[in-house]
A and B are shown apart, each in its own frame.
Chain A
Amino acid sequence: MGAGVAALALLPLGFIAVYTVTVGPDEARELLLRPRVGELLVNTVRLVVAGIALSVMLGLGCAWLVERTRVPFGRVWHLLLVAPLAVPAFVNSYGWVSLTPRVEGFAGAVLIVTLSYFPLVYLPVSASLRGLDPALEEASYSLDHSRWWTFCRVVLPQLRPALLGGSLLVGLHLLAEFGALQMLRFPTFTTAIYDQYRSSFNGPAATMLASVLVACCVLLLYAELRLRGRRRYARVGAGVPRSVPRHELGRLNLLAVPALAGLVALALGVPLSSLARWLVVGSSTAFPMDELTAAASTSLTLGGAAAALTVLLALPVAWLAVRQRDLVSTVIERSTYVASSLPGIVVALALVTVSINVAQPIYQTFVLLLLAYAIMFLPRAVVIVRAGLEQAPPMLEDVSHSLGVGPLATARRVTLPLLLPSMGAGAALVFLAVTTELTATLLLAPIETTTLATRFWSHSSAASYGAAAPYALLMILISLPATYLLSRRPTEPVAS
């Protein structure tokens, strides 16, 4: 089962590998050893490095302020810091670019992608901070260690899985980001591949670029694997841990509150106000109700179906990774990650090629599009379902069996209820991703089918910012419930 999911996820990679081999070494060298490729490599690497570094700083800092200090309005900040996930990166860059063209280029690109993706670090880190046992920190204080020393030597090592997991997600997103960077005119491998396909339909050249991108992704996965180690993080304790004492900020509030407010203003305020401005004053603004409802309902349907399918596929993978920790299960889990770093267009074209050759009936149908979404967004579901499974010790299943309850009933009455919150969170994350997905949708959606994202893109790339605005607004509105679901604390009662 897990192996089947992995095989599906590896399909696009296989497509690239086969293409690379058919091209042959001579032509491959000719295609790769070009100044253009070097330039793309430098751009991609510095974007990923700077984006991860900034996201970690922002995510860690905000998580600490919200979870461990008495900063005023903590709950409100939490919601506002998760909210940027509801604003797609390409809508964010649309907001900035339509405001000032000066954000084009490297600095602007790093700023905007970080503002869009730092919640991916903030969320797991704040969840970990909540779950830490305060006794460890108290022990450190009692040994006369300072707050700063304790934070670096006691708290940070425990946050490592969350920080590394979040960084990996940010890195993979940046490798695959297309819309925002295209709008900001900052070329990376992903945008170059898109241009290559669109302009010349030059298969081999684009696929060679994609192979370098895949290499970057593999490197990132390997680094995370090495840094994380093989420790287990299941907590098998009685009841819930004590709640963590919070630091009194005192006069530092005068720094902390404006810092948080500034970040929220940049990440949410700028794109939203710019959107509002275009809605109100844009000369091309119009509200074609029929088109809007059609696109919205397509987005909702696709998002819901893809979320359900992806979480179902994530279950066996997460199960193997947690309960049967060995080389095979690690390979299976990691192979699902590989696919998500491939730009949507590569996944899409791989599926187009494969379906035309071996599965003609599903070509140009929603089935193929859903499969593409599942391949691309599987890691998000796996990461979250996996974390939930680590909180459900196998002992509970043993106890259930000893009470005369068989395996199926145990799954229904014990394992599933314990997993539901994380499955819900995983589904929400996939739903968010699908409603804002652009490239695969552009290529795979059945003819005449449009979603909010594709409508927005066709208007804004034609510089009709006003016409694009209502679609962006709707996209954000239907993302809000899922974002709220994600911001909910996992410790809130799950029982009826």
Chain B
Amino acid sequence: MTSVTVQGVAKSFGGRQVLEGIDLEVPQGNLTAVLGPSGCGKTTLLRIIAGFVHPDAGVVRLGGLPVVGAGHRTLPPQRRRVGYVPQEGALFPHLDVRANITFGLPRGLRRGPRLADMLDLVELPRGVASRYPHELSGGQQQRVALARALAPDPAVVLLDEPFSSLDASLREGTGRAVARALHAAGATAILVTHDQGEALSLADQVAVMRAGRLAQVAAPPELYRSPADTEVATFVGRAAVLPGHVTDGFAQCALGEVVVGSSDVRGDALVVVRPEQITMSSPRDGLVEARVADVTFYGHDTAVHLEVLPSGPAVVARIFGVQVPARGAVVSLEVSGQVTAFGLPPRPLD
């Protein structure tokens, strides 16, 4: 297994810039998620690494060896040892599961033990080997597609929105199984997704992509705790972005005085508050008050939509347990823990 290095990759289609100055380092054995809204260029990046698309500029290295760019001869896809799991699996419809999985193996190995190993790895029963793709469920098709990609022992595995066509109930289980199989195989993998929950829960590293550029590359907890800007903050998890003023590590905002985490921001700023940082209590003097506008009960937790009184911004608090406030009730708010603040350019003088 090998690392993947992408440096300064750019691509445009018919005059439209799809990718610009992409730098990404995926260490050996790492599962990196490329997270972004549809149309941000993440699939194009994957197809460039796989070798299906030629970049206009930049270098792609697999295990330190350039496969495209840097003045080297471009390596065709079939010589890169890159496994590819496309959207909806794209299994060969004319071949059964056995022939699909062993497709990339040399003829002599197609009858060997590799098929059973692969089925075990993706947690499918051996009995499916003789079925045809149209006889499988969506989740099974996806697992067969992964087994097919892993069978020739690729250097890198690329997954393009592999779970987007699955039911919500299947998605999580299939995602876990795929991540387990990738780790068990020790594979270096890049997963493209628009689902932030999927990216945060499955990946070792998340690269947030926006309009053809990478906005931030970080481990999931760091990404959530210290987003690079307010857009990343609201894209990765829910957040209230409130205008405020920072002095000496404290910010004054619509939710009162909050502690700003390690930051050298001073003056006018935007303050990012996560829903689970907001706690509610019965009205008390000296605290910010809010009215409960709506309550959304999810079972494991509850989202409480609040309007800060008298005419403040709308924020969301997430609380656990079954004790939920009634709609229309007035509560006091406090912010626990540290928040992230982003400095604003100084306002021009009137």
Which A residues are closer than 8 A to B by beta carbons? 236-240, 393, 395-396, 398-407, 413-414, 417-418, 493-495
Interface centre among A237, A398, A407 (most CB of B within 10 A): A398
Cβ contacts under 8 Å, B133 to chain A: 238-239
Across the interface, do A396 and B92 meet the contact criterion of CB distance under 8 Å?
yes
Across the interface, do B92 and A401 meet the contact criterion of CB distance under 8 Å?
no
User: What are the 8 tightest A-B residue pairs by CB atom distance, in nearest-first order?
Assistant: A403-B104, A402-B84, A401-B77, A239-B134, A401-B78, A240-B134, A238-B88, A395-B90
Across the interface, do A405 and B78 meet the contact criterion of CB distance under 8 Å?
yes
Of B14-22, B93-101, B249-257, B293-301, the one touching chain A: B93-101
Cβ contacts under 8 Å, B136 to chain A: 239
Query: Is B51 part of the contact surface with A, judged by Cβ < 8 Å?
Result: yes
- Bound Cα distance A345, B83 (Å): 55
Query: Is B79 part of the contact surface with A, judged by Cβ < 8 Å?
Result: yes
Across the interface, do A405 and B94 meet the contact criterion of CB distance under 8 Å?
no
Cβ contacts under 8 Å, A398 to chain B: 47, 50, 52, 77, 84, 86
Interface string of B60-87 (1 = CB under 8 A from A): 0000000000000000111111111010
Across the interface, do A404 and B52 meet the contact criterion of CB distance under 8 Å?
no
Cβ contacts under 8 Å, A237 to chain B: 88
Cβ contacts under 8 Å, B78 to chain A: 401-407
Query: Is B201 part of the contact surface with A, judged by Cβ < 8 Å?
Result: no
Query: Is B340 part of the contact surface with A, judged by Cβ < 8 Å?
Result: no
Cβ contacts under 8 Å, A239 to chain B: 133-134, 136, 138, 141
Across the interface, do B51 and A401 meet the contact criterion of CB distance under 8 Å?
yes
Cβ contacts under 8 Å, B51 to chain A: 401-402
With contacts A238-B141, A399-B84 known, what are 17 further pairs, Cβ within 8 A?
A236-B88, A236-B90, A237-B88, A238-B138, A239-B133, A399-B90, A399-B92, A401-B51, A402-B80, A402-B149, A403-B148, A404-B81, A404-B104, A404-B152, A418-B93, A495-B94, A495-B96
Query: Is B165 part of the contact surface with A, judged by Cβ < 8 Å?
Result: yes
Across the interface, do A495 and B95 meet the contact criterion of CB distance under 8 Å?
yes
Can you give 21 A-B contacts (C-beta < 8 A)?
A236-B90, A237-B88, A238-B88, A238-B89, A239-B138, A395-B90, A396-B90, A398-B50, A398-B84, A400-B103, A402-B83, A403-B78, A403-B84, A403-B149, A403-B152, A404-B79, A404-B81, A405-B104, A493-B132, A494-B94, A495-B95
Which B residues are closer than 8 A to A by beta carbons? 47, 50-52, 76-84, 86, 88-90, 92-96, 103-104, 132-134, 136, 138, 141, 148-149, 152, 154, 158, 165
Across the interface, do B103 and A403 meet the contact criterion of CB distance under 8 Å?
yes
Cβ contacts under 8 Å, A414 to chain B: 92
Cβ contacts under 8 Å, A401 to chain B: 51-52, 76-78
Across the interface, do A399 and B86 meet the contact criterion of CB distance under 8 Å?
yes
Cβ contacts under 8 Å, A413 to chain B: 103
- Bound Cα distance A417, B136 (Å): 21
Q: Which residue of A lies closest to B50 (CB)?
A: A402
Give the shortest distance, in Å, between A448 (CB) and chain B (any CB). Answer: 46
Give the shortest distance, in Å, between B318 (CB) and chain A (any CB). Answer: 35
Q: Which residue of B lies closest to A241 (CB)?
A: B134
- Bound Cα distance A395, B132 (Å): 18
- Bound Cα distance A441, B120 (Å): 62
Q: Which residue of A lies closest to B86 (CB)?
A: A395
| Residue from the list A238, A393, A495 in contact with B165, Cβ < 8 A | A238
Cβ contacts under 8 Å, B104 to chain A: 403-405
- Bound Cα distance A393, B87 (Å): 12
- Bound Cα distance A413, B78 (Å): 14
Across the interface, do A402 and B141 meet the contact criterion of CB distance under 8 Å?
no
Cβ contacts under 8 Å, B149 to chain A: 402-403
Across the interface, do B94 and A417 meet the contact criterion of CB distance under 8 Å?
yes
- Bound Cα distance A238, B152 (Å): 24
Cβ contacts under 8 Å, B94 to chain A: 417-418, 494-495
Interface centre among A395, A407, A418, A493 (most CB of B within 10 A): A395
Interface centre among A400, A401, A414, A418 (most CB of B within 10 A): A401
- Bound Cα distance A399, B78 (Å): 9
Give the shortest distance, in Å, between B146 (CB) and chain A (any CB). Answer: 12
- Bound Cα distance A415, B263 (Å): 57
- Bound Cα distance A292, B89 (Å): 55
- Bound Cα distance A400, B145 (Å): 12
Cβ contacts under 8 Å, A400 to chain B: 92, 103
- Bound Cα distance A418, B76 (Å): 24
Q: Which residue of A lies closest to B157 (CB)?
A: A402
Cβ contacts under 8 Å, A393 to chain B: 90
Across the interface, do B93 and A402 meet the contact criterion of CB distance under 8 Å?
no
- Bound Cα distance A178, B84 (Å): 55
Across the interface, do A402 and B82 meet the contact criterion of CB distance under 8 Å?
yes
Interface centre among B76, B78, B80, B82 (most CB of A within 10 A): B78
Q: Which residue of A lies closest to B95 (CB)?
A: A495
Cβ contacts under 8 Å, B138 to chain A: 238-239
Cβ contacts under 8 Å, B148 to chain A: 399, 403
Cβ contacts under 8 Å, A494 to chain B: 94
Cβ contacts under 8 Å, B81 to chain A: 404
Q: Which residue of A lies closest to B78 (CB)?
A: A401
Interface centre among B83, B104, B152 (most CB of A within 10 A): B104
Q: Which residue of B lies closest to A414 (CB)?
A: B92
Q: Which residue of B lies closest to A236 (CB)?
A: B88
Give the shortest distance, in Å, between A371 (CB) and chain B (any CB). Answer: 33
- Bound Cα distance A320, B189 (Å): 35
Q: Which residue of B lies closest to A239 (CB)?
A: B134
Give the shortest distance, in Å, between A400 (CB) and chain B (any CB). Answer: 7
Give the shortest distance, in Å, between A133 (CB) and chain B (any CB). Answer: 15
Q: Which residue of A lies closest to B165 (CB)?
A: A238
Q: Which residue of A lies closest to B103 (CB)?
A: A403
Across the interface, do B77 and A402 meet the contact criterion of CB distance under 8 Å?
yes
Give the shortest distance, in Å, between A415 (CB) and chain B (any CB). Answer: 10
Cβ contacts under 8 Å, A417 to chain B: 94
Give the shortest distance, in Å, between A463 (CB) and chain B (any CB). Answer: 53
Q: Which residue of B lies closest to A237 (CB)?
A: B88
Cβ contacts under 8 Å, B82 to chain A: 402
Cβ contacts under 8 Å, A395 to chain B: 86, 90
Give the shortest distance, in Å, between B157 (CB) and chain A (any CB). Answer: 10
Across the interface, do B165 and A403 meet the contact criterion of CB distance under 8 Å?
no
Cβ contacts under 8 Å, B90 to chain A: 236, 393, 395-396, 399
Cβ contacts under 8 Å, A240 to chain B: 134
Cβ contacts under 8 Å, A406 to chain B: 76, 78
Give the shortest distance, in Å, between A285 (CB) and chain B (any CB). Answer: 49
Cβ contacts under 8 Å, A407 to chain B: 78
- Bound Cα distance A399, B101 (Å): 12
Give the shortest distance, in Å, between A243 (CB) and chain B (any CB). Answer: 12
